Amino acid sequence: MKKSIIPFYSSSDRIVEKSLGCFQYDSEGKKFIDFESGVWCSNLGHSHPRIVSAINEQSRKSLHSGYRFRNRESEQLSLELLRIIGFEDGASVFLSSGSEAVDLSIKIAKRLSGKKKKKILKIRNSYLSAYGYGELSSDNPHVVNAERNDFECLDRIDFSDIAVLVLELGGASVDTVRFPAIDYVQKLAELCRENSVLVIAEEVTTGMGRLGTWFGFQTYGISPDMVVTGKALGNGYPVSAVTVNYEVLKKLKNDLFIYAQSHQNDPLGCAVGVEVIKTFEEEHVIENCLKVGECFKARLQALKEAYPNVVKEVRAQGLMLALEFCESTDGSKLNERLFKAGFVVGYKQNTMRFLPPLTITEREIDMLIAVLDALLKNEYALINA
Ligand X SMILES: Cc1ncc(COP(=O)(O)O)c(C=O)c1O
Q: Return residues touching ligand X (CB under 6 A).
A: 97-99, 102, 127, 129-130, 168, 173, 202, 204-205, 230-231
Least distance between ligand X and beta carbon 124 (Å): 14
Closer by beta carbon to ligand X, 51 or else 123: 123
Rounded distance between C-alpha atoms, residue 19 and residue 121, angstroms: 38
Closer by beta carbon to ligand X, 127 or else 307: 127
Least distance between ligand X and beta carbon 297 (Å): 21
Least distance between ligand X and beta carbon 40 (Å): 6
Rounded distance between C-alpha atoms, residue 351 and residue 281, angstroms: 32
Write the DSSP string, 164-220.
EEEE-SSB-SSSSSB---HHHHHHHHHHHHHTT-EEEEE-TTTTTTTTSSSSHHHHH
Closer by beta carbon to ligand X, 240 or else 329: 240
Name the residue with the smallest CB distance to ligand X: 98
Nearest to 102 by CA among 153, 151, 165, 31: 165
Rounded distance between C-alpha atoms, residue 180 and residue 285, angstroms: 25
> Residue 9 pairs with which residues in a beta bridge?
none
Closer by beta carbon to ligand X, 228 or else 334: 228
3-state secondary structure (DSSP) of residue 253? helix
Least distance between ligand X and beta carbon 126 (Å): 7
3-state secondary structure (DSSP) of residue 227? strand
Are 173 and 200 a contacting pair, CB within 8 Å? no
E strand map for 224-330? 226-229, 240-244, 311-317, 320-325
Closer by beta carbon to ligand X, 202 or else 266: 202
Are 105 and 226 a contacting pair, CB within 8 Å? yes
38: left (phi over 0), alpha (psi -120 to 50) or beta: left
Closer by beta carbon to ligand X, 34 or else 379: 34
Closer by beta carbon to ligand X, 127 or else 179: 127
Least distance between ligand X and beta carbon 231 (Å): 6
Closer by beta carbon to ligand X, 331 or else 346: 346
Longest dimension (CA), the chain: 72
Q: Can you state the angle between helices 285-306 and 267-282, rounded to 10 degrees?
A: 70
Q: Classify residue 339 by burial, with Cβ atoms within 10 Å: 0-12, 13-18, 19+.
A: middle
Least distance between ligand X and beta carbon 260 (Å): 19
Closer by beta carbon to ligand X, 21 or else 230: 230
Rounded distance between C-alpha atoms, residue 16 and residue 26, angstroms: 4
